[in-house]
Amino acid sequence: MLTYLRSATPELSKAAIDAELASLEAAIQRVELEFESPLERPRSVHAVGRPVERPWYRRRAAGLAAAGVAVLLIGGAGFTYYTYTSRIPSPAQPTEVPLPARADAQRTREAQSADAPLPYIFMRQLVPYRTTHPTGTIIIDKSQLYLYVTQPKAAAVRYGIALGNNCADTAGLYQVSRRLEPGDRLQQERGAAEHDNTAGDRALYLGSELHLIHGTNATRSIGRTVWSGCFQIIHRDFADLFNRVEVGTRVVVN
């Protein structure tokens, strides 16, 4: 719960996080008191002063009840976080052109995953990164599903990616040959016909129209291999990458 609260957007204040944690702790204490009857307390005794030992079936029932309550509390905390974040307005998404329907279960799951929260490890962040490639180079690590833009002082900006089937076998040295601007239509490009309809209206072409970096709104696909598309980054992070990259930028895919 603490991890989710700290990664909320917009950022929550320390007072708000402390209040949520205090509320959870108070709820746990109330539940513990409700399930602890006078005869079941470890220090309770009979009138003759002998300790009371609960039967095994009562101990097991109490344990199961406590576990059930814990699950409900955690689920309630997750629902509270989801409700809070769902009220935050999301940026407008590009106009999309639907593709013909396909009887493919994986494509259906990807379409349903647009609103899933992005794990912290795949969020855009500055990380230590040693390499011999010059500053500004894009390095795509297909095995780890990360894209790096090298920075000075042994650092890089790291993005989580989804690896589309169109670029699963891509490897080697490339250059950004073209920046597809928002004024163009990605869906009308020759190489975009096999992309899903969440790709958006910008792209970075790597030498040809068959290899490119583009956006996606299927958040749950980040960190996975997917049916279609190429190197995919969620739209808000791809906008950041797009603004960093110029035509001629060196791209290493391994």
Mean pLDDT (the chain) is 76
| Together in a domain, 53 and 141 | no
pLDDT for residue 46: 43
Residue 95 in domain: no
| Together in a domain, 41 and 162 | no
Helix (H) or strand (E) holding 177: strand 172-180
Q: Could you tell me what percent of the chain has a pLDDT over 70?
A: 62
Spatial distance between the Cα atoms of 140 and 241, rounded to a whole number of angstroms: 13
| Together in a domain, 82 and 109 | no
| Together in a domain, 119 and 19 | no
Structural domain of 119: 105-253
Spatial distance between the Cα atoms of 89 and 83, rounded to a whole number of angstroms: 12
Question: Band of the pLDDT at 240, cuts 50, 70, 90?
Answer: very high
Both tokens of 158, joined, read: 């790291």
Question: Band of the pLDDT at 237, cuts 50, 70, 90?
Answer: very high
Both tokens of 86, joined, read: 């769902």
Residue closest to 226 by CA, chosen among 109, 97, 75, 94: 109
Residue 71 has pLDDT above 70, yes or no: no
Both tokens of 30, joined, read: 């109330």
Residue 253 has pLDDT above 60, yes or no: yes
pLDDT for residue 103: 42
Spatial distance between the Cα atoms of 247 and 99, rounded to a whole number of angstroms: 29
pLDDT, tens digit (0-9, with 9 covering 90-100), for 91-130: 444 444 444 444 455 555 545 555 578 999 999 999 999 9
Burial status of residue 231 (CB atoms within 10 A of its CB: 0-12, 13-18, 19 or more): buried
> In which order are the strands placed within the sheet that holds 203-206?
125-128, 155-160, 146-151, 138-141, 250-253, 172-180, 203-206, 208-216, 231-234, 162-164, 225-226
Residue 98 in domain: no
Question: Band of the pLDDT at 221, cuts 50, 70, 90?
Answer: very high
Residue 9 in domain: yes
| Together in a domain, 124 and 167 | yes
| Together in a domain, 50 and 131 | no
Residue 49 in domain: yes
Residue 6 in domain: yes
Spatial distance between the Cα atoms of 135 and 153, rounded to a whole number of angstroms: 9
Q: What letter represents residue 58's amino acid?
A: R
pLDDT, tens digit (0-9, with 9 covering 90-100), for 152-195: 999 999 999 999 999 999 999 999 999 998 766 544 444 444 44
> How many structural domains comprise the chain?
2
89 vs 17 pLDDT, higher one: 17
Residue 93 in domain: no
| Together in a domain, 234 and 135 | yes
Residue 100 in domain: no
Backbone angles phi, psi at 196, to 5 degrees: -70, 170
pLDDT for residue 77: 55
| Together in a domain, 63 and 174 | no
pLDDT for residue 105: 54
Residue 80 in domain: yes
Spatial distance between the Cα atoms of 26 and 5, rounded to a whole number of angstroms: 18
What is the domain-level CATH number for residue 163?
Answer: 2.40.440.10
| Together in a domain, 169 and 79 | no
| Together in a domain, 143 and 205 | yes
Task: Tell me the CA distances in angstroms from 15 to 6, 18, 19, one per residue in order.
Answer: 12, 5, 6
| Together in a domain, 124 and 37 | no
| Together in a domain, 125 and 229 | yes
